[in-house]
Amino acid sequence: MARICLHGFVSGRVQRVWYRGATSKEARARNVTGWAHNLPDGRVEVLLCGEEDDVRAVEAWLHRGPPAARVDHVEIEEVAWRDIVGFRTG
């Protein structure tokens, strides 16, 4: 199985709706490492690294988010592998 990292931005109503925390929960459930943090412009920036199937599953979840969120757009690109421990929000 291949390991990949995806970097991206999520826009819509994604701040103050527990989007980062829920992303962390989804990622950790699939052993995906990386981070999610709020940007000043209202988007959430994410990095997801792990086994491709697991990372792609979390990527698909990003398009839905938690119940209180409204995801308008997800922009994702594959980036070079990064050996990251855990998943953090901030």
Active site residues: 20, 38
Contacts (Cβ under 8 Å, ≥6 apart) of 68: 13, 17, 18
Q: Where are the beta strands (DSSP E) in 1-90?
A: 3-13, 33-38, 44-51, 70-79, 87-89
Helix (H, G, I), strand (E, B) or coil at 83: coil
